Structure 1
């Protein structure tokens, strides 16, 4: 299942993403983690030092390899150069699976050891000084969207994406790629305003959205979130000595995380699993195609010099069965 963490900058979404990843690993679930935020901090939150975080390969730098691999033998895609971030898979396309080894993971993913196992971590790469004035960050996350379009997952497998802040997630169709979106909100007017904006944008696309209240200190904070988010409020997280130690680079073993916070993380897992159980694969593909056609007409056809609508394979629908069949080469 695919899970996104979103929220305004500073809300704690990267911290909660890392806690959730550690929780899943403690539950022996295979995890692929993706840092898609403009501020690349997920590696550090998972225990990497500065040098290790800086050494993570940038997915955007390997976009030609990603396109060529995913294109496979799909006859509808004439060349890797005609693929854009929204290109959907079709007959002959190579798919990515969480438990396999493939050239994309070989180039873009690194194993990170946690207390209870290890995960794969991928990162878009930071927004550098050389990008200023000549690129937008959304061009970097295009590699993430393309991979998510071609990634088929099973019910006991997890993709966890730390998304860019606020409503920037709606710069592409990537916000529809998730079984569950956890919006991390502080008990403030700004925190709730991001939630309202996100919910308004996502409503027409059937996005499963739950609010995770963070930095909740007292009953008044809790009541504020309940009044503003209503039934969308799933759980709240308060002060954590474990998190404070983690932020200092000295976390104890994950099993020492406070019991109430472990229960909150389990609630997140339960909500994600319930949402995945109701995934509509045909709608999933329709939304993918919708955004591809929209991007093709807006800029893709002109940029590539090709009719990108022809890349759509109307007979192809992703399904859970593809997660069990490897075509990696």
Structure 2
């Protein structure tokens, strides 16, 4: 079974860049890796330097409205989802797309959850770039999570958004083994009032990432994340923590 990492936080805090860096880093540990863009407002494909043709949302609407006579809904959905997988070097990309429209999607979402659970067994790691509202977790269209990385910038707005995502994840009933708060674009330790807010929310800070001008400029220009960025000293703490936790989690699963 894959080790599943979910990344969440409000727009602009750098979660998509961090998701792309994690994909590149995890490829050095083991492969293949599945990258899931679960935020309709993000561009994980751009950060990974990939193109995609279809989203799960497109296929969900297609399956909801019509299924060929010689296929069950589940079979047709699975076939179409396989076709939607974008193939990179050592990793695949699955783009969730826009939120659901009006009407009942319960049956289709159940099929989607079962499919994601099934295909995750093909990969060593799954990295999910979530939207701030954790939509796919709250609708239970995502599998249980091994590591949830809540990304915030040093602002009170970013921290409150991360706490809100944390509370949504807990209330969704999804099993999450480890949760870490990452302070991105940091210029030092947070002020006392912010630290107290984080402590009150029962979160712990897993690491600080200093502001990196090169990453910011590349992101603004729509460039993919350079592989050498993952070797930046500013990211060493995050990547070391992710490596240790993922290897520990996979070893525990192998023993059990």
1:284 maps to what in 2?
none
**Number of positions where the alignment pairs a residue of Structure 1 with one of Structure 2:** 235
Change (3 A) 1:275 1:175: farther
Q: Aligned ranges for residues 41-60 of structure 1 at < 5 Å?
A: 41-48=43-50, 52=51, 55-60=52-57
Deviations 1:197-220 (A, max 9, x none): 333344464523211111212234
1:197 maps to what in 2?
164
Q: Distance in 1 between matches of 2:217 and 2:61?
A: 40
Aligned with 1:269 (options 243, 249, 254): 243
Whether the 8 Å CA contact 2:133–2:168 is kept in 1: the answer is no
> Shift of residue 250 of structure 1?
7.0
Deviations 1:159-194 (A, max 9, x none): 111112234345312465211111112222222223
1:125 aligned onto 2:97 = yes
Whether the 8 Å CA contact 2:116–2:143 is kept in 1: the answer is no
1:19 maps to what in 2?
21
> Shift of residue 16 of structure 1?
0.8
Unaligned runs of 5+ in 1: 68-78, 84-92, 94-101, 280-318, 322-329
Give TM-score, length-normalised by structure 2: 0.72
Change (3 A) 1:3 1:213: same
Change (3 A) 1:167 1:60: closer
Secondary structure of 2:119's counterpart equals coil
Q: Distance in 1 between matches of 2:112 and 2:187?
A: 35
1:237 maps to what in 2?
209
1:62 maps to what in 2?
59
Q: Distance in 1 between matches of 2:255 and 2:39?
A: 28
Q: Distance in 1 between matches of 2:49 and 2:94?
A: 15
Whether the 8 Å CA contact 1:225–1:233 is kept in 2: the answer is no
> Shift of residue 13 of structure 1?
1.2
Whether the 8 Å CA contact 1:186–1:192 is kept in 2: the answer is yes
Whether the 8 Å CA contact 1:245–1:252 is kept in 2: the answer is no
Unaligned runs of 5+ in 2: 65-70
> Shift of residue 244 of structure 1?
3.0
> Shift of residue 29 of structure 1?
3.1
Change (3 A) 1:214 1:255: closer
Aligned with 1:80 (options 50, 72, 87): 72
Change (3 A) 1:20 1:256: closer
Change (3 A) 1:244 1:179: same
Secondary structure of 1:165's counterpart equals coil
RMSD: 3.8
Runs ≥4 in structure 1, deviation > 6 angstroms? 64-67
Whether the 8 Å CA contact 1:7–1:194 is kept in 2: the answer is yes
1:107 aligned onto 2:104 = no
Larger radius of gyration: 1
Give TM-score, length-normalised by structure 1: 0.58
Deviations 1:56-93 (A, max 9, x none): 322233349999xxxxxxxxxxx834x6xxxxxxxxx9
